[in-house]
Structure formats: C-alpha cells, structure tokens
Structure 1
Amino acid sequence: MKLYYSTGACSLAPHIVLHEAALAHEPVLASTKTHKLPDGTDFYSINPLGYVPVLELDDGTRLRECQAILQYLADQAPQKNLAPANGTLARYRLQEWLSFISSEVHKGFGPLWVPTTPEDYKPVVQQRVLARLQWLDGELANRQYLMGDQFSVADAYLFTVSNWAQYVGPDISELKNLAAYRARIAARPAVQAAMKAEGLLK
C-alpha cells in the first residue's frame, strides 16, 4: 500500500493507524503547496481534489477521505482492535466519533489555514473550535480514549487535528482532560513512529 500524505496534515491519522496495525506501506509525500510528488508527478493525477490522504492499494485502487481510509485500515488488522466489528452498535459509535471529528473539529479548523481568511474573522473561528474541544474535554473526564479503554482509529484522528491548535489556535491549555488524553496518545510507539516518519519528531 501507498499512503499519500502531507506533513502534519489529517493524513497523519492513517499514518498512525498503519503503524498501529503493523501494515506494510510506502509513505509518499504530497506537498500541499506545490501539489507535486518527490518524483515530479502532479498530485492532481492521483487525487483530482488535490488533498490528502489517499491510500493506494496494491492493485492500484485508491481510497480518499480520512474516515473511509481509517476504517479500511482497521479492518485489515482486526486482531489489533482498532475498530469494533462491522454491524455492531459499537461500530456505529466509532462512526459517530469519526463524523464529529471530521465535521465539527477538522473542518472547523479549515478557515484558520486559509491565507485569505480575514484576520478579524479568525477569532470567531477559533471560538467555535474551542467550544467543540471544550465539550470533548468533558467527554474525556472519565475515559482513557474516545471509545472507552480501547484505543481506536478515532483517537488517531482526534490527536492529529487537535495538534493544529498549537499552530493556528485556539488556546487549549486549560483543557486538562484533553491534554492528558493527548499525552497518552503521543506516548504510543506507533504514534511516535508515524511522527518521526513525517519529520515531526527527531
């Protein structure tokens, strides 16, 4: 498999899961600025939408969208328990978390990365993101991970997008449960391996 990624982008989540699942893969850097691969290939020829992640299977089939890729990877290594079994209520709970992270947190950060976003609008965006993360902080008060005591692909996703606060805000330093949760995830060997592969850790 190949994972097309950009350093620190949402593609870090499937990168983490590939390491958690111990699945053989080739990471391929796709610049979000030039949209070129290291060999000069136009990334739009891989994904016409121009964004990461893209997972390319050994037969050449490509999957887009973080939620779909995360669940696909989890299902390739069911013994790792990175997602509950399909058809169970727990699986729908996982999908509930993935949808929330995607629409309420991931997309919430979006305008903060866009150079043309007016400066006077950014505090409004940051406050909306903070409100979602404050709610998450409360949800994490009595659980190790989003699904309870078991690390799942949703945790890889939330860890990845919550990392962005340090670069574009909001200030999440007062969210103690979220901070402890993020520290637990950051300490996982697979997380460190993925971050090292992307140059985010020495």
Structure 2
Amino acid sequence: MKLYYSPGACSLAVHIALREVGAAFELIQVDLRTHTTETGGSFLDVSPRGYVPLLELGDGSRHAEGAALLQYVADLDPARALIGPPGSRQRLAVVEWLTFISTELHKGFSPWLWHKETAESTRKAVLAKLATRFAELDAVLARSDFLAGGYSVADAYGFTILNWAHLLGVPLMAYPHLQAWMARVAARAPVQAALRAEGLLA
C-alpha cells in the first residue's frame, strides 16, 4: 500500500492507524500548496481532488476520504480491535465518533481557520461552535479514557484534528480531560512513530 500524506494534515490519522495494525505501507509526501509529490510529480494526476489522505492499494486502486479509510484500515486487523466487529455496539460507537469528528471538528477547523482571508466574523462563529464541541468532548472524556470506550481509530482521527488547535493557537486550557486524552493518545508508540516519520517529533 501507499499512503499519500502531508505532515500534520488529516492524513496523519490514517498513518497512525496503519502503524497501529502493523500494515506494510509506503509513505509518499505531498505538498498541498503546489499539489506536487515528493518526486516532483503532479498529485492532481494521482488524485483530482487534490487533497490527502489517499491510499493506493496493492491492486493499484486509489481511495480517499479519511473516515472511510480509517474503517478500511481498522478492518485489516482480524481482531478489529480498533473498530469492533460488524454489527457490534463498539463499531457503531466508533463510526459515530468518526462521523462527528469529520463533520463537527474537521470541517470546523478546515478550511476556515487555516486561511488568513477568512472574515473575522466567520472566524469567531467557527471558534464559538468548536468551543461547544470541545466542551462536549471534555465531558465524555471525563468519564472514559477514550472516545468509544477503548482506544480506536476515532481517537487517532480526533487526536489528529485537535492537534491543529496547537498549530492555530486555539486554546484548550479550559478542557482538562480533553488535554489529558491528547496526552494519552500521543504517548502511544504507533502515534509517536507516525509523528516522527512525518517530521513532527524530534
């Protein structure tokens, strides 16, 4: 498999998941500003959408959308420890969190907070909405170490997106349980390995 990624982007979640399940894969870095790969090729020739993550399977097929890829990668582990078996409450909870992170967090941060041209009124509205979501997560994580009970691909995705708060200067001090969860996820060996491979950790 090949994972097209950009350091610290949402592709980090899939990168973490691949390491968690012990998959064999190749990393191909993409410059999202120029839409070129590390070898100088056009990423738009690989993926017309122009964004990561993109996972190329052994048969040459290419697949996008982080929440979908996380479910696929989690199923590579026969025990399905990161997602739960089909039809289980565990799987329902994990997929529910993946959807929440995708729509309520990921699309809150991006594109609005990444672009300097975003109107200040829009920025304030986005930050207010995110604050309500952070509070909800903090309450959940006051009762549980991880989002869906045990560690899952939802935690890898949530960690990746919430990590943007540090990069964008969005304060999380008011959410101690959320911060503790971030630290728990960050301490995992596969997470450390992914961060190091992407140049995000010394």
Is 1:122 paired with 2:120?
A: no
Q: Which residue matches 1:104?
A: 104
TM-score with structure 1 length normalisation? 0.96
Is 1:52 paired with 2:48?
A: no
Partner deviation per Cα, 1:68-90 (whole Å, 9 max, x = no partner): 10010110113361110112232
Which blocks of at least 5 consecutive residues in structure 1 are unaligned? none
Letter in 2 for 1:181: W
The residue matched to 1:79 in structure 2 has which SS? coil
| Partners of 1:46 and 1:96 in 2: CA distance | 30
Q: Once the two structures are aligned, what percentage of the paired residues are identical?
A: 47
| Partners of 2:82 and 2:131 in 1: CA distance | 27
CA contact (8 A) 1:21 1:80 kept: no
The root-mean-square deviation of aligned C-alpha atoms, in Å, is 1.1
Q: Which residue matches 1:161?
A: 161
Letter in 2 for 1:8: G
Letter in 1 for 2:138: D
Distance 1:72 1:106, change over 3 A: same
The residue matched to 2:4 in structure 1 has which SS? strand
Partner deviation per Cα, 1:50-96 (whole Å, 9 max, x = no partner): 10000000110111000110010110113361110112232122111
Range with greater deviation from structure 2 (173-182 or 74-83): 74-83
Q: Which residue matches 1:78?
A: 78
| Partners of 1:115 and 1:35 in 2: CA distance | 20
TM-score with structure 2 length normalisation? 0.96
| Partners of 1:35 and 1:92 in 2: CA distance | 35
Give every structure 1 segment of 4 or more consecutive aligned residues whose post-TM-superposition deviation is greater than 6 Å. Answer: none
| Partners of 1:78 and 1:119 in 2: CA distance | 48
Q: Which residue matches 1:147?
A: 148
Q: Which residue matches 1:173?
A: 173
Deviation at 1:26, TM superposition (A): 0.4
Is 1:92 paired with 2:115?
A: no
Letter in 2 for 1:81: A
| Partners of 1:201 and 1:169 in 2: CA distance | 18
